[in-house]
Amino acid sequence: MSNLATVYEQDFCQNTKLLREGRVAEIDTENIAEELDAHG
């Protein structure tokens, strides 16, 4: 796995963890918006 893919995976997992913990103010909302856009 490339370094960029590893960073991407870490960011995704971190955002998921924060969301599940209710720590919404700490989530990278721009990243999540890009993810949602990518899935149509």
Domain ranges of the chain: 3-38
Give pTM, 2 decimals.
0.71
Q: 15 and 31 in contact (C-beta within 8 Å)?
A: yes
Q: Give the per-residue pLDDT at 38.
A: 87
pLDDT digits (tens, 9 = 90+) for 1-40: 688 888 888 988 999 999 999 999 999 999 889 888 988 7
Q: Burial level of 11, CB count in 10 A (0-12/13-18/19+)?
A: middle
DSSP letter at 2? -
